[in-house]
Structure 1
Amino acid sequence: MRKPIGLQQFLDGPWLGRDAVLADLDGCLLSGDTVLPDVPELFARCADRLWIVSNNSSDTAPTLSTRLAGLGLALSSDRILLAGEMTLRALAAARPGARVALYVNPPLQELARDLGLQPDRDQPQSVVLGRDTALSFADIARIAELADAGLSIYLTNPDTSHPGADGTPQPETGAIWAAITAIVPQARMTSLGKPAPDLPREALRRAGVTPGAAVFIGDTEATDGAAAMAAGVEFVRLIRPGETPALPLKTGVHTC
């Protein structure tokens, strides 16, 4: 297993000629709303070969693109793949007009309606559970009730946390799901989020490149690395705050 490296080492490393650079978001490009070191250079040097592949379940691609622009990072929404949005699009394609108990933030609630899904927590046909920051005790009880009744649960991602602005772990969708399974141990879910390969595979499809012509950068082996491996893409793990970077690679400076 390759040692984690800094982003500048990645930019100066031997990944010259890759047609697509897939990148995780939280802990890789951003920490909260703080742009991490060397990220603007990544955007500038990779340009339209850069793709965000994230388990984010709070934004849609357009809202994230707008948020990034406000941080000085320009990236078209067409090159942003998010687990929450992909979950809703897949469900709408498979079950048009379905009644869904939505436990997601407002941008995804709006997207669900735009896709023709019917928000319904009283008599739903399935449940979509994301990082709902307005989630209440009563909501957890209701989700557990629906899971116990055997409804299909679509989890936007299984992550239990993501790094906040200061690196402190923040609750994620998987932490909510852990509470549900503590109440209903037999509960089962389906997720397209990493470590599943759906997001990187869709990025490759949109980019029109083969797995061997791409590289994936992220900060976790268990999610980013596993998704990259399943999609057949080389994975490079970036160091997290507090980690010691590997020794610099003895190569010339290349564009990515």
Structure 2
Amino acid sequence: MNHRSIRQKLQSVQYFVLDMDGTIFRGKRVFPFAVTFLQELQKRGLNYIFLSNNSSKNVWDYRRMLSGMGFPVETGQIYTSAEATIEYLKKKRIGKRIFLLGTERLRQSFEKAGFEINLTHPEVVVAGFDTELTYEKLDQACAWIRKGVPFVATHPDLNCPVENGGMKPDCGAICAAITAATGVTPKIPGKPHREMLEGLLSRTKTTPDKMILVGDRLTTDIKMGNDFGIFTILVLTGEATRQDLKTSPIQPDVVLDKIIDILDYMD
């Protein structure tokens, strides 16, 4: 797309949908230019919502984290794969008793939503980005899945970007081990799937053609945009690289080095 076309699209947007890990910050390191970008959106009265697949934290953690990084935000401006999974389980009425592969923060989110963490008679196995994973939990989860208990995962990301260019095994990597052991693949409500889109639309009260999705991952952020008609901007501060773009069938509408470069098309 040329500069004029991008500028016209930005002028029609009602909501900026912003990924967090790899887009706004990496690990515990905030990108200073991202603070400037958000401040500029606020000055212009533009709406934005943070969208994250990372289910190791809950929305209250993210609110505290973002506020501490210089992003004043309400919990209603944050939507995660954990919330999408909770809404999916409630909608499908799969069950209230959960065997959870997840952090204490994810556990709190499920319990607050009315679910029971149950190790002896679960109705569903839920996997998240479990930074507290043990072999015992992995073994027990596989045992329940082999017995026919439904398997749901918050999101498919294989790795999570951290400081200094590193990566940590994410929910998708945990699920790959479970699938290898059981032959069962999970249902995934998080990006890039429709359940995440539905939750996003219900919060923003707008339509996909009035959104711009900004993220660092081709297989989740950009694929979700492509699948559901959302204009996409890939930033190169997280997972994806220009080399990835040469071979990937998933292509964004625009590629920028970093999120603040969007402002070049808004003046």
Deviation of the 1:97 alpha carbon: 6.4
In structure 2, what residue type is equivalent to 1:220? R
| Alpha-carbon distance in structure 2 between the residues aligned to 1:27 and 1:178 | 22
| Alpha-carbon distance in structure 2 between the residues aligned to 1:139 and 1:246 | 41
Deviation of the 1:208 alpha carbon: 1.7
Gaps of 5+ in 2: 243-254
Taking structure 2 as the reference length, the TM-score comes to 0.82
| Alpha-carbon distance in structure 1 between the residues aligned to 2:256 and 2:186 | 38
Query: Which residue matches 1:127?
Result: 125
Q: 1:33 aligns with which of 28, 31, 39?
A: 28
Deviation of the 1:95 alpha carbon: 2.9
| Alpha-carbon distance in structure 2 between the residues aligned to 1:96 and 1:115 | 14
Query: Which residue matches 1:183?
Result: 181
Superposed, which structure 2 residues align to 1:82-161 within 5 Å? 82-95=80-93, 98-161=96-159
CA separation of 1:152 and 1:166: change in aligned 2, threshold 3 A: same
Superposed, which structure 2 residues align to 1:104-253 within 5 Å? 104-184=102-182, 186-240=183-237
CA separation of 1:243 and 1:154: change in aligned 2, threshold 3 A: closer
Query: Which residue matches 1:57?
Result: 55
In structure 1, what residue type is equivalent to 2:16? V
Q: Which has the higher contact order (CA 8 A, sep 6+)?
A: 1
What do the CA deviations read for 1:51-86 (whole angstroms, capped 9, x no partner)?
A: 111101012222211111111111211011100122
| Alpha-carbon distance in structure 2 between the residues aligned to 1:246 and 1:116 | 42
In structure 2, what residue type is equivalent to 1:25? M
Gaps of 5+ in 1: 4-8
CA separation of 1:130 and 1:20: change in aligned 2, threshold 3 A: same
Give 1 or 2: higher helix fraction: 2
SS in 1 for 2:213: strand
Deviation of the 1:132 alpha carbon: 1.4
Taking structure 1 as the reference length, the TM-score comes to 0.86
CA separation of 1:114 and 1:42: change in aligned 2, threshold 3 A: same
| Alpha-carbon distance in structure 1 between the residues aligned to 2:37 and 2:187 | 33
Identity of aligned residues (%): 24
SS in 2 for 1:56: coil
SS in 2 for 1:181: helix
CA separation of 1:99 and 1:44: change in aligned 2, threshold 3 A: same
Deviation of the 1:199 alpha carbon: 2.1
